[in-house]
Structure 1
């Protein structure tokens, strides 16, 4: 019987389906020495964003000689040292087709929240304040949305934003133009200077550092809005706070952080920041789809 460790949990229906197929599924969460021990005893480990599979943990898995498959139940695999894992003969997969719309909807939701002050009005109304005049907002219709990266999630954001009347420009290292009609590939400089709203959809690459630094914020259009549902570290948080304080950025929405849970009190108490706790893929529908896609990967590789 193949043993599967779903270290960051798994959709209940997916767990039942795997067990019915004859797999043993452990959905408990392990850290530290416990995880070092458990990873030697399983054929497959399924993780989300909480568990990091780095070289030392991979070395522990190799000692056990049992692990064959690592699955990131989500889009990115940046929390796995995937190149090293593959060099050790392990198969690394993700579920890229399952959560794109969920993350895209959250990004769009944050844009509405910023544009109409929903995030802060909900707080001040509960404090008994009637800030009607202070919360005059703007409309998304007619605004230029700059997308950083143009993969599945960004394309889903683009389609939804175009339905709202937004103009779409994007910067992507692939330099592929014409992927979607009415979406224009631009340079990073043009993206920074022309975007009214900017939404990030790229992995964090430690060796490259943040995509947005102080220098980038200085180039931006005054009073623009930023949404990050991608990865912590893609924006320099200190530079973002400075840009919020000096008005370069009117408001920002942040779902991902340099450290999670975030301890950056200056950021999470800032009255120009809309916050969510890394919930991009946290919808019932997305989790069910991720579960189904995970099952298909396991069946393909282990069977």
Structure 2
């Protein structure tokens, strides 16, 4: 976002936030006309930006009505009776929207933030204001100051509550908070000037609370920091411009209302409805559901992708370049909210927290593929996905370098007792000593699991002078001077440091128990950056406290919190020279970008070509595209039950239809078979229908 674009949005926000004409509609027009809504990342950036600059409207009212604000503050501490009366009425009017806003925010964004509902709100709001004007201002002469009505201190608690209830209606996008509260003030009998003032003061807690809540939601996920995407300079410019614009708009509105009433704003809203509706119909502008739901305005032939948990924008960009529509959500979802978000998606991307259970998957009738933007796939019911003909992809190797580097750093830190000495110094205790501190050069590192991570650690450790031995259940080619040993027990007996890098299987659960910890050298170190179930942490704590194990580093735990910020307790907490990290082995910017790109590429290849290379639950197939007399053959994908004779039925169907098959690739795994066929364009559609009608077929799709 450029500084000029930020300034334009600041002007739009500042002017429209307090005028009863809907800031939503104007911000949609402005951002889309400036080309700020073309990608999911841009939409997220604009959403965050608009939330931040809303604070400019708050600052404007604070400045213009500072004496009133001070008076209410004095009232709340018992020093101003009129201030207390006004403050109580503002609070009474604020509470309904505060409660309903928290309860219904996600539902409103997913159900009401769409073209028909926003346009309906704009139009009904216009009619509402015209009716109120005709009713309340019927005897008013145009141009004369309208002074009939109550002052602020005369309003009753019931009247304040009525204004607050009308403010709740403004949660419907396109309605306008200022419209409902100003009109509400006029309805209960306030002077137009005082109705506007009450609306402005009510906006302080309402807009302030909404801003903080929405901003928290936008940045509290695991995704990229939107402030980094936007840049701080545009944010500051937008905030300043919004403040100045809002101050001018507020002063103008008060003067205008007292002489001209509300009707002109009603007519303006009707004109805006027509303009915005026409722009949407012509494709100039589109509405997006933001971070809380799926946009129902998608064309049926458009591939819809929903990415949860703030996946890195590099993968999002890659998917969008293919012409797919992407809805990027920051946090994890569950239950009905998850089904609501992904129920109509063709492709779903998750990280480790969103659970795609059998029940959730069965609600996703359009689902073609799932991408796990992480190493593991435990969060997906793989068997159910396979039974639906839905491949599940992950990125098991993209974060291996990050895990390897963390492990090496822990090896050195444990030998130098860095965490222990750092903790002492934070407490103010200076402990400059070589006691129990060692170099790693010349010491033996034992690696259990010599795969992509273990082998990289082997190379890094040798580079700092360590001797490396390893054990793996499969025969592996040693890297450098590393040597293999015949068993885990043998490795434990000879190693000064043991680092574990194995998957979670029935064989590895509880693999390092009290007995095996007892086999380790006295004064050795243990590192687990693999899976939390592999090491018996109770036994490890006993060994550390007894001094048998000189230190440990643990990045994975049997029971981990579902989301960031939750409390965590574990038996290893408080142990001396023990490094605990919250499962961040693969959590680096570089790793997340690599994972995002890798998973996105696999999803795109499947959607576009039918390639399942890298899928964990279906046969891996990759068929090069074929040509028939210079024309690319049409590609048919078919998942089917793995029983004898299915391929013969496909060939029989092709023969009866007179369709030539120019290329095919069939593989089976367990109970599932997957075949990719390239057929003559003239009869491919009929062949696809015939294959889909065969009893054993699970799912058939034609790509081109």
Give the TM-score, by structure 1 length: 0.90
**Contact 2:344-2:366 within 8 A present in 1 as well:** yes
Matched, 1:26 2:26: no
The match for 1:271 among 560, 576, 584 is 576
- Trace 1:117-266 onto structure 2 (pairs within 5 A): 117-133=417-433, 135-174=435-474, 176-186=475-485, 187-205=487-505, 209-261=509-561, 263-266=568-571
Partner of 1:280: 585
Deviates more, 1:83-92 or 1:191-200: 83-92
Distance across 2 between alignment mates of 1:120 and 1:155: 29
Matched, 1:42 2:345: yes
Larger Rg: 2
Distance across 1 between alignment mates of 2:554 and 2:519: 21
SS of the aligned residue for 1:257 comes to coil
SS of the aligned residue for 2:572 comes to helix
Matched, 1:11 2:312: yes
Say if 1:207 and 1:111 are closer, same or farther in 2 by CA, change over 3 A. closer
SS of the aligned residue for 1:139 comes to coil
Distance across 2 between alignment mates of 1:162 and 1:97: 21
Say if 1:241 and 1:52 are closer, same or farther in 2 by CA, change over 3 A. farther
**Contact 1:204-1:210 within 8 A present in 2 as well:** no
Partner of 2:121: none
Deviates more, 1:82-91 or 1:137-146: 82-91
Per-residue displacement from partner, 1:233-284 (whole Å, max 9, x unpaired)?
A: 1111111111111222111111111111373343122223111111112211
Deviates more, 1:155-164 or 1:26-35: 26-35
Higher relative contact order (CA 8 A, sep 6+): 1
Question: How many Å apart are 1:17 and its aligned residue?
Answer: 3.3
Deviates more, 1:201-210 or 1:237-246: 201-210
Deviates more, 1:183-192 or 1:42-51: 42-51
**Contact 2:369-2:391 within 8 A present in 1 as well:** yes
Matched, 1:60 2:360: yes
Question: How many Å apart are 1:79 and its aligned residue?
Answer: 4.0
Question: How many Å apart are 1:134 and its aligned residue?
Answer: 6.5
Distance across 1 between alignment mates of 2:490 and 2:388: 42
Say if 1:95 and 1:114 are closer, same or farther in 2 by CA, change over 3 A. same
SS of the aligned residue for 2:498 comes to strand
Say if 1:146 and 1:103 are closer, same or farther in 2 by CA, change over 3 A. same
Question: How many Å apart are 1:48 and its aligned residue?
Answer: 2.5
Distance across 2 between alignment mates of 1:124 and 1:110: 18
Question: How many Å apart are 1:172 and its aligned residue?
Answer: 1.3
Structure 1 moving runs of 4+ over 6 Å: none
SS of the aligned residue for 1:234 comes to coil
Give the TM-score, by structure 2 length: 0.40
Partner of 2:395: 95
Report the count of equivalent residues.
299
Distance across 2 between alignment mates of 1:107 and 1:138: 17
**Contact 1:177-1:184 within 8 A present in 2 as well:** no
Say if 1:224 and 1:52 are closer, same or farther in 2 by CA, change over 3 A. farther
Distance across 2 between alignment mates of 1:85 and 1:198: 37
Matched, 1:77 2:382: no
Matched, 1:293 2:594: no
Say if 1:267 and 1:116 are closer, same or farther in 2 by CA, change over 3 A. same
Say if 1:281 and 1:64 are closer, same or farther in 2 by CA, change over 3 A. same
| Structure ranking higher in helix proportion | 2
Distance across 2 between alignment mates of 1:35 and 1:76: 20
**Contact 1:76-1:203 within 8 A present in 2 as well:** no
Say if 1:291 and 1:265 are closer, same or farther in 2 by CA, change over 3 A. closer
Deviates more, 1:5-14 or 1:122-131: 5-14
Deviates more, 1:40-49 or 1:219-228: 40-49
| Structure ranking higher in strand proportion | 1
**Contact 2:374-2:595 within 8 A present in 1 as well:** yes
Say if 1:134 and 1:284 are closer, same or farther in 2 by CA, change over 3 A. same
Distance across 1 between alignment mates of 2:343 and 2:507: 30
SS of the aligned residue for 1:121 comes to helix
Say if 1:134 and 1:168 are closer, same or farther in 2 by CA, change over 3 A. closer
Distance across 1 between alignment mates of 2:438 and 2:425: 20
SS of the aligned residue for 1:268 comes to coil
Say if 1:67 and 1:285 are closer, same or farther in 2 by CA, change over 3 A. same
